[in-house]
Structure 1
């Protein structure tokens, strides 16, 4: 039987989202100083594309494993994260083209620099948050899918089991650290919001109130994105816990019998798991 593979389309990820992500990455690559300003965005966009490419390379040997991995990927909201990120990339591309319309390919004007770095600071931060959250969701979810394949593999040697357990622990640790990071970012966002709501300097330039209100709205968006990121990460963590439980169960329920040496006759063990009559310990 040919192996199964999960396509991005099967998860509900649109071609528009993928092309928008690619277009923004190429656009910023052509603007050196813009690249410097939002270098982290480009890094995360590249990471999203790499993870989605890795998904195409995952091969599932049976329909059960394929279905399990596909459903887990859907639960974590991978498609929604990528599609929303793609829409945000399309909108940001339009804004960036407007902001840099007076720029050459190598140098941004002062006006452009201020627009990207200051006037729209929180809006740019919202976009940063969305791209980073998408990257994390995609990365963790697809890594968990690859571990589903590994855990379900029939290779039950001691070395293979140790490697599975190691990868499960590494991914779980990374997820927990990421959740803690997003919680800290939420705290920072809340503090910025309070600072804007109750500024120490009450003297505002003309239009300052409107700018502050818009900035607060952007911070609220960031907080919602970070909360969604945490929810998705916790769902992946639940999948990892399920895989860890299964792996421990497999190790516990697998018995190996040995003949030879100073032993003679049958060695008997009761198990609801698998008994390997292979004549040697693995």
Structure 2
């Protein structure tokens, strides 16, 4: 029987989302004026695309295993994160195209458009948060699945399995550190929200008040995105923490505790595990 594979479509990730992510990445890379302002966004977009492409190399031995693996990936919120990120990318692409459509030396530069105004600063921060959160969710979820695949491989050498075990534990540690950093960022967003809700200067015009109200909405969105990121990362961490890899003679057995993950076995993939989500 031919092995099963999990496609992005099977997870519920839309082609619109994938195209929007790719289009924005290309747009940013083509704008010299934007590179030093939002180049980190382009890097995160690339880091979303690469692990999604790596799904093609996963080969799963049977239908039961396919269903279990697919369900675990779905539970991490990968599809929702990517689809929402894709819509945000599509909206941001439209803004960038508008801002550069009639650019001249006498008009406000793209750099200034990305930095001026209280509300605009927080809105850009929300977009950055959403992209980076999506990148982390995708990378953690797919890397963990790849590692389980490599551990289960009957063709892997003892040395290769030992190396994979070390990678798995490193990933567990990386997830826990990421959750700590994300919690700190959530606290910072809530602190900014509190400061905006209780300004020191009560004397402001209507326009400033409206800008402040919009900025409060954006900081609330940031806090929710960061909380969702912690939840999704925590799900991956729980799966990895329940993984045991006892050695029996020359074979390895992967077992999960708990009814949900019982009996999960995944076939072989030759994909390489790379984690680059440590940037804060």
TM superposition score normalised by structure 1: 0.82
Q: Over residues 113-165 of structure 1, what are the superposed CA-to-partner deviations in whole Å (9 max), with x where a residue is unaligned? A: 33211221100110000000100000000011112212322358643442232
Task: Find the aligned partners of 1:11 and 1:95 in 2 and give their Cα distance.
Answer: 29
Task: Find the aligned partners of 1:59 and 1:231 in 2 and give their Cα distance.
Answer: 27
Partner of 1:6: 6
- Alignment partner of 1:141 is 2:137: no
Partner of 2:77: 77
Q: Over residues 244-267 of structure 1, what are the superposed CA-to-partner deviations in whole Å (9 max), with x where a residue is unaligned? A: x2x1xx32xx247xxxxxxxxxxx
Conserved 8 A contact 2:150-2:156? no
Q: Secondary structure at the match of 2:199?
A: coil
Task: Find the aligned partners of 1:108 and 1:66 in 2 and give their Cα distance.
Answer: 58
Q: Secondary structure at the match of 1:94?
A: helix
Q: 1:111: Cα distance to partner?
A: 5.0
Report 1:36-75 matches (<5 A): 36-75=36-75
Report 1:1-282 matches (<5 A): 1-103=1-103, 109-110=107-108, 112-119=110-117, 120-154=120-154, 158-243=158-243, 245=244, 247=245, 250-251=246-247, 254-255=248-249
Q: Over residues 196-219 of structure 1, what are the superposed CA-to-partner deviations in whole Å (9 max), with x where a residue is unaligned? A: 112223333551000000001000
Q: 1:207 to 1:31 in 2, by over 3 A?
A: same
Equivalences, count? 248
Q: Over residues 90-115 of structure 1, what are the superposed CA-to-partner deviations in whole Å (9 max), with x where a residue is unaligned? A: 111112222233326xx894354332
Look at both structures and tell me which one has the larger radius of gyration over its CA atoms.
Answer: 1
**Structure 2: where are the runs of 5+ without partners?**
251-280
Q: 1:51 to 1:255 in 2, by over 3 A?
A: closer
**Structure 1: where are the runs of 5+ without partners?**
257-282
Cα RMSD, aligned residues only:
2.0
The structure with higher relative contact order (CA 8 Å, sep 6+) is 2
Higher alpha-carbon deviation: 18-27 or 59-68: 59-68
Q: Name whichever structure is richer in helix by fraction.
A: 1
TM superposition score normalised by structure 2: 0.82
Q: Secondary structure at the match of 2:114?
A: helix
Task: Find the aligned partners of 2:124 and 2:205 in 1 and give their Cα distance.
Answer: 22
